[in-house]
Amino acid sequence: MTPFLTSLRAIVAREALRFLHQRERFVAALVRPLVWLLVFAAGFRAALGLSIIPPYQTYITYETYILPGLCGMIVLFNGMQSSLSLVYDREMGSMKLLLTSPLPRWWLLFAKLAGSTAISVLQVYAFLAIAAAFGITLPPLGYVTVLPALVMAGLMLGALGLVLSSFIRQLENFAGVMNFVIFPMFFLSSALYPLWKMAESSKLLHDICAVNPFTHAVELIRFALYAQFNGWALLWVLLATAGFTALALRGYDPARTRIARRG
């Protein structure tokens, strides 16, 4: 095995091991979207009328509509959780061990990203399994075709987490930044309501939702869950991933001292 693959395997395995050690994190990651799905969506089912929009072929329940958004929510929260653990690593000093490895820094960051994405994907499948148990099911093929969409969304949001971790200096600052990232990203997206509904309320909010990369990650997942391909959403996700990755590499550049100063 090459040094690159050896290090990738070790970093991903360590992320997975850390996740397994934090059982409450796993439970929280599942409870959060399930509350939305089984409580919030049930309450709003009567209030919100949804027309037939792609990829749906028939009228759908609100639970069915927000299922892809909640998959996105899991990936979003996990990306931010990974970012938090990177800031923690830096505070604890273990980030230094990674950054002084003789492998290219971009590869080490990619390995971190891959680890975070793998955990996101596992969480989403666990969520989909529980949703299916409650009767919210998808076409069987959708469970397979959603995998690449989840990987893409995981990489994009993991890269955003890397960017944030490179700029957040202290663990104490994390909660504030999260509130300014997670909530706007989630609520200003198509996760909970279709964009045309938003346009009825406010053109400005609709436009913000339309450029939010998270909207496109959710739409990519939504189409993939029905074994359909949304090229526009994929393009947006790819562009956002490239942008976030470039910023992360810049943030972790040793010629810029933010990382080393703290950890």
Q: Which residues are near other proteins by CB under 8 A?
A: 1-4, 6-7, 9-11, 14, 17-18, 21, 92-94, 96-104, 108, 254-255, 257, 259-260, 263
Residue 57 or 100: the one with the smaller Cβ distance to other proteins is 100
In the complex, minimum distance from the CB of residue 101 to other proteins, in angstroms, rounded to a whole number: 4
Which of 157, 171, 180, 184 is closest to 84 using CA atoms? 171
**Least distance in Å: CB of 257 to other proteins?**
5
Nearer to other proteins, 20 or 246 (CB): 20
Q: How far apart are CA 95 and CA 263, in angstroms?
A: 7
Where are the alpha helices (H) located in the chain, listed in sequence order?
3-21, 23-35, 41-44, 62-92, 94-99, 105-133, 142-167, 174-187, 195-201, 203-211, 213-225, 231-251, 258-262
Q: Output 7 or 120, the one with its CB closest to other proteins.
A: 7
Least distance from other proteins to the Cβ atom of residue 5, Å: 9
- Smaller CB separation from other proteins, 89 or 219: 89
**Residue 24 CB, nearest distance to other proteins (Å)?**
15
A 10 A CB-CB count for 144 gives 11
Q: With the C-alpha atoms ordered 101, 115, 36, 181, is the resulting torsion angle positive or negative? A: positive
Q: What are 112's two structure tokens?
A: 């971190």
Rounded Cα–Cα distance for residues 9 and 144 (Å): 24
Q: Note whether 254 and 95 are within 8 A (CB).
A: no
Single-letter residue type at 140:
P
- Nearest Cα neighbor of 167 from 186, 180, 156 is 180
Considering the complex, state which of residue 93 and residue 148 has its C-beta at the smaller distance from other proteins: 93
**In sequence order, what are the residues at sequence separation of 6 or more whose Cβ sits closer than 8 angstroms to the Cβ of residue 70?**
33, 36, 37, 127, 191
**Which CB, 3 or 139, lies closer to other proteins?**
3
In the bound complex, what is the minimum distance in angstroms from residue 255's beta carbon to other proteins? 4
Nearer to other proteins, 86 or 150 (CB): 86
Pick 21 or 58: Cβ nearer other proteins: 21
CB of 77 to other proteins, least distance (A): 22
Q: How far is the CB of 135 from other proteins (least distance, A)?
A: 39
Q: Are 215 and 140 in contact (CB under 8 A)?
A: no
Cβ at position 170, least distance to other proteins in Å? 15
